[in-house]
Amino acid sequence: MRVILSGGGTGGHIYPALALAEVIKQHDSDVEFLYVGSERGVESSIVPATGMPFKKLTVQGFKRSLSLDNIKTVNLFLKAVKVSKQIIKDFKPDVVVGTGGYVAGAVVYAAQRMHIPTVIHEQNSVAGMTNKFLARGASKIGVAFDVAKSQFPAGKAVLVGNPRAQQVAHIKSDFSWQTLGLRDDKPTLLIFGGSQGAPAINLAVIAAIDQFNERSYQVVIVTGPKRYDNVLNKLKEKNIAAADNVRIVPYIDNMPEVLVQTAAIVSRAGATSIAEITALGIPSILIPSPYVTGDHQTKNAQSLVDAGAAVVISEPELTGQSLMAAADILLLDESVSEKMAAQTTKIGMPDAGDRLYSIILDAIAEKKV
């Protein structure tokens, strides 16, 4: 099998594609991949580091207000489609898979015009603009949230989950909290605002840290590399020092291994985070980012709340007090955390990659009929 993967702009589009590649390799050791990403996107460094062949396109996003820059966006898109057609012609894929982002729009659209089977994957509860544009011409559509199915042509979308969940669900971890000077026999709350950190979450933690210092559970706070010094300075201004059961770190580069040893998590509600949380059955306090398209993180989080699998605090309601109260519910009442963990596991899809692989095979088979 020969597969072109395309997705870019954020890790939420890239990591599901790479997780899918792992699954396909497990089923077909002879598979050949080509990843087509954007020249300026983070995929241009992430993907080559895996050893996967990578080609670049020049694209940019649309401005949501009237702007002459959108004329340039259209011209770049048309040029990217032309280049994509040549890439497809040279590589001769059996299928082209798009996981979102503007670059996937050009690659998948080119494949559709060339009558190559195409599959798109939507990670969020609110469909992105690129996937909506590609939906009518797609052979198959996989979604990570059931609510997203109604946003695509009737009967075309299938609930498959997020391939990242399968990748994380089967990870083996020998991580020890002792590496941070903590104990492995105490429940640990991980507070993580994303790879860059989240100022609102950091401020709530600063306001609550005195109380965290008094709790029987231990706490690890990931501030984000650029915000680490700021957090330490604010704590110093307040004459607050982390106690034996609290650790403040700028970044964690082995997050899946750490999550396996986490009792509960405070997190944003991005698609990748939710895939990881549900795959591992971790009780969560979700704080959706209000700065994303279509407020999709709030809708992502609501899916877990409806299933009894998470607590949500909106960013305007986030304070040290509200964060502390939610954390105590999860970590001081074992019956609550056990029930929430069970519900989280129920909605997790540890076979998401296999499910997506299955509809990819269907798309290829239908083309041959």
Known binding positions for UDP-N-acetyl-alpha-D-glucosamine: 10-12, 124, 195, 252, 297
Three-class SS of residue 162?
coil
Please name which of 259, 306, 256 lies closest in space to residue 125, comparing C-alpha atoms. 306
Q: What's the helix, strand, coil split of the chain in %, to 5? A: 50, 15, 35
Residue recorded with tokens 């050791």:
29
Distance CA 17, CA 2 (A): 15
Please name which of 287, 354, 329, 339 lies closest in space to residue 309, comparing C-alpha atoms. 339
Please name which of 135, 130, 174, 184 lies closest in space to residue 156, comparing C-alpha atoms. 135
Annotated binding site: 10-12, 124, 195, 252, 297
- Please state the separation of Cα 256 from the chain's center in Å: 12
Phi and psi at residue 25, to the nearest 5°: -60, -35
Which bin fits 238, alpha (ψ -120 to 50), beta or left (φ > 0)? alpha
- Please state the separation of Cα 167 from the chain's center in Å: 12
Kindly give the interhelix angle for 271-280 and 334-347, rounded to the nearest 10 degrees.
110
Return the DSSP state at 54: E
Please name which of 157, 43, 15 lies closest in space to residue 103, comparing C-alpha atoms. 43
